[in-house]
């Protein structure tokens, strides 16, 4: 009975438009670690070992957030997948790009979770890229006070 009730609430919440957000643990630590290795090999040369960028090259932390948050994760993923790394754009496969995105999320202090970040466009579109942790929702769903 309780299970059915939880399912009903979840279904209702999803129908109301509640999505996962980047504060909900949308990658795993193991994935971020893989992504970190890829990052140092393919991205760090320009964006810096600590993601700080340079005078000419944008950082991937800090003022990176206002430029990329506010939509859904597919936007950033698509950019990385098609435009990066700059010297060989699109040369990394979807799995590597997902891992690197996980690493970037971790570097920006988003919490890890139990499920890996997928490279699937629909799945990424369903994850809000929230700069700030949203206010706690009521159990009735997406109804902030």
Minimum distance from CB of 119 to other proteins (Å)? 18
How far, in Å, CA of 25 to CA of 43, rounded?
A: 24
Asked if residue 9 binds other proteins (CB under 8 A), the reply is no
The single residue listed with the structure tokens 């990385």 is 80
Binding segment (CB under 8 A) for other proteins, from list 26-34, 67-75, 103-111, 133-141: 67-75
Are the C-beta atoms of residues 34 and 93 closer than 8 Å to each other?
no
| Cα→Cα distances 114→5, 24, 27, Å | 24, 10, 7
Asked if residue 45 binds other proteins (CB under 8 A), the reply is yes
Asked if residue 12 binds other proteins (CB under 8 A), the reply is no
Q: Which residues of 116-144 are buried (b: 16+ CB within 10 A; e: fewer)?
A: bbbbeeebbbbbbbbeeeeeeeeeeeeee
Minimum distance from CB of 7 to other proteins (Å)? 36
Count of residues touching other proteins (by CB under 8 A)? 17
Binding segment (CB under 8 A) for other proteins, from list 15-23, 27-35, 53-61, 116-124: 53-61
**CA gyration radius, the chain:** 17
Asked if residue 89 binds other proteins (CB under 8 A), the reply is yes
Interacting residues toward other proteins by CB under 8 A: 45-46, 55-58, 66-68, 71, 75, 79, 82-83, 86-87, 89
């Amino acid at each position: 009975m309780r299970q059915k009730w939880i399912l009903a609430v979840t279904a209702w919440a999803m129908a109301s438009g509640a999505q996962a957000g980047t504060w909900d643990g949308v990658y795993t630590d193991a994935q971020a670690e893989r992504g970190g290795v890829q990052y140092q090999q393919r991205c760090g040369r320009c964006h810096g070992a600590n993601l700080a960028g340079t005078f000419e090259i944008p950082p991937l932390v800090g003022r990176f957030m206002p430029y990329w948050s506010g939509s859904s994760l597919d936007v950033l993923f698509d950019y990385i997948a098609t435009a990066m790394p700059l010297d060989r754009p699109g040369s990394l496969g979807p799995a590597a790009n997902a891992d690197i995105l996980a690493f970037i999320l971790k570097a920006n202090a988003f919490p890890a979770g139990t499920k890996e970040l997928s490279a699937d466009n629909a799945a990424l579109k369903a994850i809000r890229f929230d700069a700030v942790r949203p206010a706690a929702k009521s159990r009735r769903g997406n109804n902030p006070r």
